[in-house]
Structure 1
Amino acid sequence: MYSFEQLIKAKTLLGLRESASLKEVKLSYKNLMKKWHPDKHKDDTLKATTMSITINEAYEIVLSYCNNYEYDFSEEKIKRDYLTPAQWWHEKFGANT
């Protein structure tokens, strides 16, 4: 388990918004690794290697958070997120009048 500070630092390094999908996390990681891959920085491989290690660590922290996050599968939460306004109204108050 990582600390709050480690998670915030990792999120910031990866350039993630306050709310991000797993797809966005992976894309950000992939783009940063392309940018900082040591093969692209022949003049400063030490810095690129250090950045690659740091990016990998940040990615590991964020993935750990995502993999251990408990999703809410309650019927109420699913209804709230997936019912259209008309379906919600019908569910709450019955047939349209």
Structure 2
Amino acid sequence: MASDVAHHSELDLPKELWIEIVLEIAPRDAVALSQVCQLLHDLLSDRDLWIKVLRAVVCQRDGIFSGTYPVADMDLGQIQLHVDTYHLHPAPRLCRR
């Protein structure tokens, strides 16, 4: 019992820090991380978190209009799929003169 308490206290980071961690790792790794334990699963199954990831990975980084993704109509799995697919196959960058 004591080891369970110690184990969970190590994961007890502010949600904002977990968001920053997820934004820095590959989306596939974030999904894998959510399968480590129930606590991480609950934290990383937050739809709002994945909307932030979608906007950061796809929209902000590569300048794709956020309206391209109708997140209001997408469930968590669809958002994760779009992030993962785009992360593996990003749009080509345009050359600037």
Q: TM-score range by the shorter chain?
A: 0.3 to 0.5
Give me the TM-score of the superposition, normalised by structure 2.
Answer: 0.35
Flag the structure with larger Rg.
Answer: 1
Larger % of helix: which? 1
Give me the TM-score of the superposition, normalised by structure 1.
Answer: 0.35
